A and B are shown apart, each in its own frame.
Chain A
């Protein structure tokens, strides 16, 4: 039977490039580059960046704290699998936003993804994405290198799509897709598809559902060109761990490694253009503070955002820490989000596109009340 979890794990990684300067349309091509890394499924921010200085962390989720996090300051540490990202923190080219979320308190993946891409207060309330609207204002709209155009980069202008087949794995069936097909068949048909899946795994061609690292490398190579895309969206799926989330090792820590290597790959491939780049992660929601009965965590509210790039001058953790005692939690179960992540996206747009904060607030997010966080991240 096709379950929701099968469906989510079957949706592969993806890359979307946009904002190519277009002759006759783009005026004064902007210098900055933005890469959005979409962490689909809801990343556990407390496992990624544990607030080790908050005693309640160990009371609430003793089994879900890595044994040797890297201590960043008296309040925060970071999971040891973020090796590249930790080096960037040391080099003053990365920052962390904690206890943050888009203004969405429901717990649906589909609504949450729509809110974080659309940038509105309610899901399914707009047909364009916040990054697309910003590209419209910055006059950088252009081709999207993707098979479909994700909501986040859709603006008022039509995008020209193309998808290069030379990206590694792009023409190969993914193991997850095969598993998905197998789950809908019975008896001999299921056996045949199962055999096909095994054979494809043996060939070593389907390590991930379209390898995010290859996609990040492709993005970096394209974006370092003078007339290359100014915007990239990399999707990393499979964060929806309701059971056996892992602490030092396991599924979530493996995904941390993948995210970390994505940051590393983008930096190494962007080369000189890294100094004009900001990479930011986004996830639709965090996960519950306490572990559930299956050593996993369920859909929550506040999570963490990871930012890196040469546009950052001084590393820090930005957080209005809400605390982790029972009375501090959202609905007595989730980390409270005390920073609206739209304000972080606004700061990234200000840094990369050179747009005025009030313009971003009013015309990109259609909300005059978004606070300015530029000085806290890029100042």
Chain B
């Protein structure tokens, strides 16, 4: 019984702790934690740059009017964006991120 518990613990630690920490990026985690406070949810807070994180951060910045035309934030921008999220723009971004705005696209 003890062996079984040990085995489950080893599998759990390997899967959920070492695996994520090896891929985790503190800047990405910083973005994800901020997004979690808004309606632009990033998925799990794993510090890994994925589609959900990319879509969410781009949607938030776009809605707040902080993206240039055709600009797309990607993984290498994470540190710079993290600094932006903790600058004087923080409150403005948090207010903007409370509600989702769907633009009218009538042809």
Least distance between B28 CB and chain A CB atoms (Å): 24
Which chain A residue lies CB-closest to B102?
Answer: A317
In the assembled complex, A157 has its CB within 8 A of some CB on chain B: no
Interface residues of A in 294-339 (CB under 8 A from B): 314-321, 339
Inter-chain CB contacts under 8 Å: number: 51
Interface residues of B, CB < 8 Å — how many? 12
Please measure, in the bound complex, the distance between the C-alpha atom of A74 and the C-alpha atom of B106, giving whole angstroms: 10
| Contact between chains at A73 and B103 (CB < 8 Å) | yes
In the assembled complex, A86 has its CB within 8 A of some CB on chain B: yes
Least distance between B93 CB and chain A CB atoms (Å): 11
In the assembled complex, B89 has its CB within 8 A of some CB on chain A: no
Task: Classify the interface of chain B: helix, strand, loop or mixed.
Answer: loop
| Contact between chains at B100 and A373 (CB < 8 Å) | no
In the assembled complex, B101 has its CB within 8 A of some CB on chain A: yes
| Contact between chains at A317 and B104 (CB < 8 Å) | yes
- Please tell me which one of the listed residues B101, B104, B105, B106 contacts residue A376 in the complex, with CB atoms under 8 A apart: B101
In the assembled complex, A293 has its CB within 8 A of some CB on chain B: no
Least distance between B13 CB and chain A CB atoms (Å): 32
Which chain B residue lies CB-closest to A372?
Answer: B95
List, in ascending order, chain B residues with CB within 8 A of A192's CB: none
- Please tell me which one of the listed residues A72, A339, A373 contacts residue B106 in the complex, with CB atoms under 8 A apart: A72
In the assembled complex, B52 has its CB within 8 A of some CB on chain A: no
Please measure, in the bound complex, the distance between the C-alpha atom of A180 and the C-alpha atom of B98, giving whole angstroms: 47
Please measure, in the bound complex, the distance between the C-alpha atom of A241 and the C-alpha atom of B39, giving whole angstroms: 33
Please measure, in the bound complex, the distance between the C-alpha atom of A320 and the C-alpha atom of B98, giving whole angstroms: 8
Q: A86-B106, A90-B106 are in contact. Are A320 and B100 (CB under 8 A)?
A: yes
- Please tell me which one of the listed residues A86, A317, A320 contacts residue B39 in the complex, with CB atoms under 8 A apart: A320
List, in ascending order, chain B residues with CB within 8 A of A75's CB: 102
Residue-wise, chain B 73-107 has the 8 Å CB interface mask toward A (1 for contact) of: 00000000000000000000001101111111110
List, in ascending order, chain A residues with CB within 8 A of B105's CB: 72-74
Least distance between B55 CB and chain A CB atoms (Å): 14
Chain A: residues with CB nearer than 8 A to chain B? 70-76, 86, 89-90, 314-321, 339, 371-373, 375-376
